[in-house]
Amino acid sequence: MDKPIIAPIASVVPEPPKKYFLKWPLVAIFSFFLGIASVLAYQKYLPAGSNPAAPSPSPQASPAADWKTYTNSKYGFSVQYDFNNQPIEVESSGQQLALISFGTMKNNGFDIEITTGDSLDYYKNQLLDHVTGKIDREEKVTVDGIAGVKLTYKQVVVIDEFSVSQVIINQGNRDYIIRSLATDIDQILATFKFTDLNEIGCSTGSDCPDGYFCNTFDRVCRQALPD
């Protein structure tokens, strides 16, 4: 019997792995240079001296833009206040002539006290005896052209401690004391104005500043004529 002929098994040579190149870096580089070319072409055909207009900044409204004006003809001053803080006037006797309150300090409020006048040391001692343990700063200020003194100190309002400023301005035989949070005081002082002293109402001559008398006919202060 003839032996079967067995064909040799051909060896299979594995194909080398194909190399794949990442295409996205090339696309990114191409897009980058295309963008630069577009910008340069735009600038080339832009009229000389012209640049794209930058957006103008939005106007910033003044914090006191919608505040109302309070005028006190009896004591000769005006001031602006937040319309949410309606003024409450309290007439007093003795050294304190009047107290006008404009809301609470925690809500942009403040108060103005008018007194018959006293020394700066008196007001500082009043604060140290009844309000605070220390006066942090004492500064000279000018309010509507009149010199004054600003005292800044810590005060507990309800249960929180705040930095409070009290400004004392002497006008004639009266002191005008303005109190608010230290962060609000400058804005309030900027709106405070003394009105015409001839418009100040009065009952007696002691209600008028130095150099003025109380006209009994219309009950307003009038400037005394020189001798």
181 and 209 share one domain: no
Tokens (6 digits) for 136: 């942090």
Residue 193: what pLDDT?
93
**More confident position, 159 or 48:** 159
- Does residue 178 form part of some domain? yes
* 207 assigned to some structural domain: yes
Whole-model pTM: value is 0.62
Confidence of residue 150 (pLDDT cuts 50, 70, 90): very high
pLDDT in tens, 184-204: 999 999 999 998 665 566 778
Same domain, yes or no, for 178 and 74?
Answer: yes
With respect to residue 112, please indicate whether it lies within any of the assigned structural domains.
yes
User: Are 106 and 191 contained in the same domain?
Assistant: yes
74 or 140, higher pLDDT: 140
Q: Does residue 13 have a pLDDT over 60?
A: no
Please indicate, yes or no, whether residues 106 and 208 belong to a single structural domain of this protein: no
Tens of pLDDT along 57-111? Answer: 444 445 566 899 999 988 889 999 998 999 999 877 778 889 999 998 888 899 9
Q: Identify the pLDDT of residue 110.
A: 96
Same domain, 130 and 202: no
Are 153 and 134 a contacting pair, CB within 8 Å?
Answer: yes
Asked if 138 and 208 sit in the same domain, the reply is no
Query: Residue 118 forms beta bridges with which residues?
Result: none
Average pLDDT of 151-169? 91
Structural domain of 204:
197-227
Q: Assess whether 124 and 227 both reside in one domain.
A: no
How many structural domains is the chain composed of?
2
Which CATH number belongs to the domain containing residue 123 in this structure?
A: 3.40.1000.10
pLDDT given for residue 198 in this prediction: 58
> Across the chain, what does the average pLDDT equal?
78
The whole-number pLDDT of residue 56 equals 45
Scanning the chain, the segments in alpha helix (DSSP H) are: 24-44, 120-130, 185-191
Q: Is residue 184 part of a domain?
A: yes
Whether the predicted pLDDT of 135 surpasses 60: yes
Q: How many residues does the chain have?
A: 227
In this structure, the answer to whether residues 101 and 118 fall within a common structural domain is yes
The residues pairing with 156 across neighbouring beta strands, listed in sequence order, are: 161
In a domain, 46, yes or no: no
Say if 52 falls within a structural domain. Answer: no
